[in-house]
Chain A
């Protein structure tokens, strides 16, 4: 990208970076099982969020932050919610009643004592 105006160059670069990151995050979410529509929405939100909070970071750092958020979205709500991937229903803990310890029949106990 070339331009005579440094300010415009910076803005354009940012736009390109943002688009690239958008694509990258969207691709990740889709590969993770999210539907294309949901992934598009999610990646826009993630990119905006990263851009707002971490402007001073370089592209690699921005991507790392964005991917970290995408991973959490994917496992926290994305895939699980979309496909109802609930591996188990809520637990209602109720312990097994412990077995009484092993004891031989009385007559054998009596025989053993006699010996």
Chain B
């Protein structure tokens, strides 16, 4: 049975929340008082320094809160004999009768213009993992495609047919394509719930790059079956499987430091936890009844359809009396991370708009206080950067004003008090990392999975240095995103680039030249006007000035792999890969080998010319009721274009409609066969 059911959760959660609140308040107040004393010096606060005080309190409070959660997580994990129990052992402890629901559990993989090879390699790996465990028939996979790129869509269909044929999985791997991606991912899931939701009690929602072990999926079903008030059970995913230096740094950080933050969050949130959009199991009927998303008042980008649906769905569940739990004792939950700085920023830009939208929900009726706090955290994770930039500017201005009035270039921040504030801030940021390292270091097995004690600590030092250099870059990015959203610029939702192509010098220069020059300019000005501050800002300015080479180095797969060969930044999924990861690797290799070197026809032309591709597409259209007849004048235009110039001549604007119109497509296919 899950640990959450054996502990008097409510009382414990209340105590922990009180503790976190009081500790955050004390630390923040103490630091703010110190900041005021240090800034004021003998001459008192000038206007800039006065304005910077509330910003300091907000920003320090924000890191103090994270620090407190991590500290709680550290204490909980340090007292627990094994830090992550392993799903296999947990499942074996659950009574057999609780393992199976009367209905099969749906495993949803919503996709949007992702690489079909990667998507279906993931499905194949999970299906094989479930079969190897003897529970393959307890799950059904639904690949829910919202792909708008025709070539990707048709490739997905063929990849699905190949998978079903090769694994004889016609009764448990399904594929559906929506012609319009209405309401994006939330609409995709809602469409599933409306059409097939009644067939299932539970659904495991994945992302296109998610991977979950059979034991974990089984444990999730067991837990939600055993607790009839449990609405969503989130199993935090850890990033794996990428090789660029940037990705490997993220993977290492998540593997070593992630657990204390997640553990702290889990015990702090208790039954009112959060949902991160994937790698979670959801009670379908509760979701159907309570998780339709409200439309926010006002226009896009802050109004309209909710983009980041997950937090809101969790809040709606909690508001309706359902539990939302974040379980930290299950492993076997994986995802992939962006491989370059630019891709990471691109993903952050999408999330930024979605999270800032949640600001409106802070003032909406009926949400529980903790859900409002989750929304606040989401907003702050992006708003903190512009606030931090503003704070920095005010600090510099305040110091310049003070220096001018004192007739000296040495500002008040040179006093030892400033060093104390700086040390406190650094401690709050670094101590959780230190504690995580201590936790790992005391567990011999985990140490060996990270390459040994020396390599573990060396990797941590490398990660810390790079994260310091990266912080100004991300701060500038986030600030730009926030300003763009507030100015009313909408974000285009592109799929992520999940291939590891690296970053060329030309691209990096184009992307980061502004930041580099900005860093040089600010450093120069600091040196001229406030030399006393230039030392404090040098680590941050170095990141900005080195952003071009940093971006190239971080995106390099070669750099990542050479560190791996040297035993640095290793994670357990690499040193001791679980079964599902091994299956995934093999499936990816197979799919790469199966690709034709240079296809003679594109996929759209193949659907007209190739009997097999046409048959697969038509079979899918028929069985998912996706047929939509196009207007007669359009089909006439297509037939004329085909007669004149073949499939190639069919206008791009009409191709999507043609693929949905079975009769016209059939007529073209027949013509193509007659004249082939």
On A, residues with C-beta under 8 Å from B are 28-29, 31-33, 60, 63-64, 67-68, 71, 74-75, 78-80, 83-89, 91-106, 108
Contacts and interface: CB of A to CB of B under 8 A. Distances in A.
Nearest to A108: B363
B225 to A, nearest CB: 21
Interface stretch (B416-424, B556-564, B666-674): B666-674
A91 B619 contact: no
Given A96-B291, A96-B292, A102-B295, 13 more contacts: A75-B622, A84-B171, A85-B619, A87-B623, A88-B195, A91-B195, A92-B196, A93-B194, A99-B292, A102-B364, A105-B365, A106-B365, A108-B363
Interface in B260-316: 288-297, 316
Nearest to B613: A32
B170 interface: yes
Given A94-B194, A102-B294, A32 B615 contact: yes
Contacts of B194: 93-96
10 contacts: A32-B612, A63-B674, A64-B670, A84-B164, A85-B165, A88-B176, A92-B196, A94-B194, A94-B198, A104-B364
A104 B363 contact: yes
Contacts of B63: none
A114 to B, nearest CB: 16
Contacts of B611: 28-29, 31-33, 74
B671 to A, nearest CB: 9
A30 to B, nearest CB: 8
Given A80-B623, A102-B295, A102-B296, A85 B616 contact: yes
A30 B425 CA distance: 70
B603 interface: no
B620 interface: yes
Contacts of A68: 670
B615 A78 contact: yes
Given A75-B619, A103-B364, A87 B293 contact: no
B674 A64 contact: yes
B174 interface: yes
A87 B197 contact: no
Contacts of B616: 33, 79, 85
A87 B174 contact: yes
B609 to A, nearest CB: 10
A96 B164 contact: no
B170 A89 contact: no
B188 to A, nearest CB: 12
A100 B289 CA distance: 11
Contacts of A99: 292-294, 316
B575 to A, nearest CB: 39
B67 interface: no
Q: Which 9 A-B pairs have the closest CB atoms?
A: A84-B170, A32-B611, A99-B292, A75-B618, A92-B198, A87-B620, A31-B611, A87-B623, A96-B292
A28 B292 CA distance: 47
Secondary structure dominating the interface of B: helix
Interface in B613-641: 614-616, 618-620, 622-625
A88 B670 contact: no
Given A71-B666, A97-B288, A97-B289, A89 B199 contact: yes
B175 interface: yes
A29 B295 CA distance: 50
A72 to B, nearest CB: 8
Contacts of B199: 89, 92
Contacts of B293: 99
Contacts of A86: 170-171, 174, 623
B553 interface: no
B364, B365, B612, B619: residue with the most chain A Cβ atoms closer than 10 Å:
B619
A93 B294 CA distance: 22
Contacts of B296: 102
Contacts of A88: 142, 174-176, 195-196, 623-624
B666 A83 contact: no
Contacts of A60: 674
Contacts of A87: 160, 174-176, 619-620, 623-624
B605 to A, nearest CB: 15
Contacts of B508: none
A47 to B, nearest CB: 15
B548 interface: no
A45 B579 CA distance: 48
B290 A79 contact: no
A83 B170 contact: yes
A98 B170 contact: no
Nearest to A73: B615
A73 to B, nearest CB: 10
